[in-house]
């Protein structure tokens, strides 16, 4: 296997089972995907297939699992599938699923690995995207900790320190230099585990109705109930399995060392989001000196806004009508600073949201059917102003399409200063002819 090249699968393969939490029967089909397309789940039970790309911005909060959402459509418990895909070194694949949750199978990712191995791997003549950790990054939650550290080794290195007060688990420490071969042998067979009290609580809440003690690793005071361990330290190995799956949410390979202490899905996802912000900052630095996707003259040909209400200086990235990144350089010469506030100038939050709305209008204009349309504000939801924007700041604007129809548009917008979020909102528009007809 050439580590520098991207991989997909050679042919389709399938997997069937029941959702770990929902108990719903589900059929999964793995399909090859082109280079640079990444990993995506496709819900095929929605009439029109709904595609959910594996990206940090699509993570949605769930208890005890990892889930992704694109608009109103979600796919649940993706971590074992993603662990198998990432652990085998697959970069591009479509995972079709005919239900809301991936199969739990035996609680490990080994069934996924075996299905993907049957499909075989296909090298693609495109370089693999790798994020090399160059500075330490740490996330904490209570006494749990996760650190990403630099390393010159080509493989991802993981050290996990699991420390349970429950006697059947106790303290377990495991380290691995992650290669596909070691992942399949040492990590993939390890299963989800629950303490007996946790299993009873989940069952009372209506989860996992189809499961018995033989189907999932439940630990009582003296060890597994009606089951046997596959490894003496299976619990810590499964924690690494979950971590590998969650790190795949980043959308690229990681070169570095990950040190973990008592961490779980929530902390794993927090680290992924922090890594994603670092990648965005590095990419932004490159794009700021490159030729913009739209300069101010092109923006003025699309938007009717003029001084003092044109709030996008340039667009540095435009992915059709799906995503856009723009820049607003905030100067002390902005007219609103004369009254907001003379002694402590702060950019009004409503104008930050207006800048996001203007960027959304530029994004909509990239689709032929919306050329010449004016995006008129209909509503704003989930508006949050998180930090002040002051003279000298560079406002990084990002808009993501949620849904666009012939006459309406629905986007999610985020404004940042550096890596810090300044404002965010969900914005809906009416798309009208710019000549007023």
The region, left, alpha or beta by phi > 0 then psi within -120 to 50, assigned to residue 155 is beta
Superfamily of domain 5-284: lpxc deacetylase, domain 1 (3.30.230.20)
Is residue 265 part of the annotated active site? The answer reads yes
For residue 370, pLDDT beyond 80: no
For residue 216, pLDDT beyond 80: yes
Give me the residue spans of the domains in the chain: 5-284, 296-433
SS (H, E, C) 98-120: CCCECECCCCCCHHHHHHHHHHC
For residue 8, pLDDT beyond 80: yes
Q: 61-71: per-residue pLDDT in tens? A: 998 899 999 98
For residue 437, pLDDT beyond 60: no
What is the rounded distance in angstroms from the CA atom of residue 247 to the CA atom of residue 85? 11
Which residues, other chains included, contact 343 with Cβ-Cβ below 8 Å and sequence gap of 6+?
Answer: none
CB-facing half-sphere around the CA of 144: CA atoms within 13 A: 13
SS (H, E, C) the chain: CCCCEEEEECCCEEEEEEECCCCCEEEEEEEECCCCCCEEEEECCCCCCEEEECCHHHEECCCCCCEEEECCEEEECCHHHHHHHHHCCCCCEEEEECCCECECCCCCCHHHHHHHHHHCEEEEEEECCEEECCCCEEEEECCEEEEEECCCCCCEEEEEEEECCCCCCCEEEEEEEECHHHHHHHHCCCCCEEEHHHHHHHHHCCCCCCCCCCCCEEEECCEECCCCCCCCCHHHHHHHHHHHHHHHHHCCEEECEEEEECCCHHHHHHHHHHHHHHHHHHHHHHHHHCCCCECHHHHHHHCCCCCCCCCCCEEEEEECCCEEEEEEECCCCCHHHHCCCCCCCCCCHHHHHHHHHHHHHHHHCCCHHHCCEEEEEEEEEEEEECCCCCCCCEEEEEEEEEEECCCEEEEEEEEEECCEEEEEEEEEEEEEECCCC
Q: Which residue has the higher pLDDT, 255 or 206?
A: 255
Which residues, other chains included, contact 350 with Cβ-Cβ below 8 Å and sequence gap of 6+?
Answer: none
Helix axes 110-119, 79-87, angle to 10 degrees: 50
Q: What is the mean pLDDT of residues 362-370?
A: 78
What is the rounded distance in angstroms from the CA atom of residue 44 to the CA atom of residue 391? 49
Q: What is the mean pLDDT of residues 101-111?
A: 96
Q: 17-52: per-residue pLDDT in tens? A: 999 899 999 999 999 999 999 999 999 998 889 999
What is residue 407's predicted lDDT score, i.e. its pLDDT?
82
For residue 89, pLDDT beyond 90: yes
Cis ω before 259 (30° cut-off from 0): no
The answer to whether the pTM exceeds 0.85 is no
Please, what is the average pLDDT of the chain? 93
What is residue 320's predicted lDDT score, i.e. its pLDDT?
87
Q: 130-164: per-residue pLDDT in tens? A: 999 999 999 999 999 999 999 999 999 999 999 98
Q: What is the mean pLDDT of residues 255-284?
A: 94
**What is 296-433's CATH number, 3.40.50.150, 3.30.565.10, 3.30.1300.10, 3.10.129.10?**
3.10.129.10
Select from 217, 174, 171, 166 the least CA-distant residue to 192: 217
Query: Where does the pLDDT of residue 13 fall: very low under 50, low under 70, confident under 90, or very high at 90 and above?
Result: very high
Percent of the chain scored above 90 by pLDDT? 77
Give the β-pairing of 156-163 and 257-261. Answer: parallel
Query: Where does the pLDDT of residue 1 fall: very low under 50, low under 70, confident under 90, or very high at 90 and above?
Result: low
What is residue 78's predicted lDDT score, i.e. its pLDDT?
98
Q: Which residue has the higher pLDDT, 88 or 4?
A: 88
Select from 73, 30, 26, 32 the least CA-distant residue to 49: 73
Is residue 27 part of the annotated active site? The answer reads no
Q: What is the mean pLDDT of residues 292-303?
A: 94
Domains 5-284 and 296-433 in one fold: no
Helix axes 265-289, 234-247, angle to 10 degrees: 30
Instruction: Identify the active-site residue in 265, 305, 370, 410.
Output: 265
Strand partners, 326: 315, 397
Q: Which residue has the higher pLDDT, 124 or 211?
A: 124
């Amino acid at each position: 296997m050439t580590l520098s090249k991207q991989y997909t699968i050679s042919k389709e393969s399938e997997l069937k089972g029941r959702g770990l939490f929902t108990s719903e029967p589900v059929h999964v089909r793995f399909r090859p995907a082109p280079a640079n397309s990444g990993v995506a789940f496709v819900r095929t039970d929605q009439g029109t297939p709904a595609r959910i790309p594996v990206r940090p911005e699509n993570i949605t909060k769930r208890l005890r699992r990892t889930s992704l959402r694109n608009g109103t459509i979600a796919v649940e418990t993706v971590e074992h599938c993603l662990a198998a895909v990432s652990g085998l070194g697959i970069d591009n694949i479509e995972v079709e699923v005919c239900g809301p949750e991936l199969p739990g199978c035996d609680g490990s990712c080994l069934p996924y690995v075996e299905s993907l191995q049957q499909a075989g791997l296909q090298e693609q003549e495109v370089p693999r995207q790798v994020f090399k950790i160059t500075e330490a990054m740490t996330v904490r939650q209570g006494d749990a900790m996760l650190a990403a550290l630099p390393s010159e080794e080509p493989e991802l290195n993981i050290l996990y320190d699991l420390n349970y007060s429950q006697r059947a688990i106790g303290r377990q420490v495991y380290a691995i230099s992650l290669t596909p071969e070691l992942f399949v042998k040492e990590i993939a067979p390890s299963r989800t585990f629950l303490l007996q009290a946790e299993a009873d609580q989940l069952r009372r809440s209506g989860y996992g109705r189809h499961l018995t003690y033989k189907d999932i690793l439940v630990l009582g005071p003296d060890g597994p109930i009606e089951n046997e361990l596959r490894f003496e330290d299976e619990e810590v190995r499964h924690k690494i399995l979950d971590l590998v799956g969650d790190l795949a949410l980043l959308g690229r390979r990681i070169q570095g060392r990950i040190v973990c202490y008592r961490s779980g899905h929530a902390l794993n996802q927090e680290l992924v989001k922090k890594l994603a912000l670092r990648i965005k900052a590095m990419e932004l630095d490159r794009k700021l000196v490159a030729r913009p996707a739209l300069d101010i003259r092109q923006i003025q040909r699309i938007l009717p806004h003029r001084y003092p209400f044109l709030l996008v200086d340039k667009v540095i990235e435009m992915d059709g009508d799906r995503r856009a990144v723009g820049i607003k350089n905030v100067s002390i010469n902005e007219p609103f600073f004369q009254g907001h506030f003379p002694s402590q100038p702060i950019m009004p939050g409503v104008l930050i949201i207006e800048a996001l709305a203007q960027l959304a209008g530029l994004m909509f204009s990239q689709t032929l059917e919306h050329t010449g349309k004016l995006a008129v504000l209909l509503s704003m939801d989930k508006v949050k102003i998180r930090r002040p924007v002051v003279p000298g700041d560079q406002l990084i604007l990002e808009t993501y399409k949620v849904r666009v129809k012939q006459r309406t548009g629905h986007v999610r917008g985020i404004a940042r200063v550096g890596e810090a979020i300044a404002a965010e909102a969900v914005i809906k528009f009416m798309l009208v002819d710019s000549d007023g007809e």
